[in-house]
Homo-oligomer: A and B are copies of this chain.
Amino acid sequence: MKQKTRKDEIITTAAELFKEKGYSAVTMRDLATAMGIKAASLYNHINSKQEILKGIIISIAEAFTNGMEGIINSEATSINKLKHIVELHVNITANNTNGMASLNNDWMHLEDQLDYYLKLRNEYEANFLAIIEQGVLDSEIKNSNPEVIMFSMLSTLRSLYLWIPKKEDLNANDLANSLSEVLIYGIND
């Protein structure tokens, strides 16, 4: 647990605001007011608004990349790899709900880091799809459209940031299990 710097506090507060209205609609004065200081004072700690966005998004994107790396290189079955992906999303989202909102909704406002972000995202999706396709080959997964399966799972997982805050009672493990159940085994009785 490294201690939080003032810069970290700014980034955390910014993520809260960005979640509510999006990056573009939040002004540096909004952020300063939320911090209880004046806008100019923010610049003692950060270099630009853009740097805040980068600080929110890139670290999360890299956490997903690292998590996926571990899953890809594991010995698990394809179905179990998918369950680990569900856990990965639940855990990252539970630890940074507000940041996930920016990652989902404001990535296109990245400037210098946009290409890097897109590279990470494309690789992530390619790995995700490869797991599903291997599962089909091994007859673990139905031979329907693998892209539809990935799209469906990923849509749900990417929306977790909207839902986790409303269900604080539910712990991360229970949620991951319920989700895996629904996503993998369906809902019909």
Question: Which B residues are CB-close (under 8 A) to A143?
Answer: 189
Other-chain contact of A185, B23, B147, B186 (Cβ < 8 Å): B186
Binds B, one of A31-39, A91-99, A115-123, A174-182: A174-182
Scan A161-189; emit 1 where CB is below 8 A from any B CB, else 0: 01100010000000100110111111111
Complex Cα distance A178/B144, Å? 8
Question: Copies per complex?
Answer: 2
Question: Which B residues are CB-close (under 8 A) to A189?
Answer: 139-143
Interface residues on A, range: 35 or more
A145 within 8 A of partner (CB): yes
**Closest partner residue, chain B, to A146 (CB atom):** B187
Question: Which B residues are CB-close (under 8 A) to A109?
Answer: 21, 25
Complex Cα distance A108/B105, Å? 13
Question: Which B residues are CB-close (under 8 A) to A155?
Answer: 155-156, 158-159, 162-163
Interface of A is mostly: helix
Complex Cα distance A142/B182, Å? 9
Also in contact, A108 and B21, with CB within 8 A (given A152-B182, A159-B151, A182-B149): yes
B188 touches A188 (CB 8 A): no
In the complex, chain A residues 75-97 whose Cβ is within 8 Å of any chain B Cβ = 79
Query: Distance (Å) between the CB of A123 and the closest chain B CB?
Result: 18
Question: Which B residues are CB-close (under 8 A) to A25?
Answer: 23-24, 109
In the complex, chain A residues 101-135 whose Cβ is within 8 Å of any chain B Cβ = 105-106, 108-109
Question: Which B residues are CB-close (under 8 A) to A152?
Answer: 156, 179, 182-183
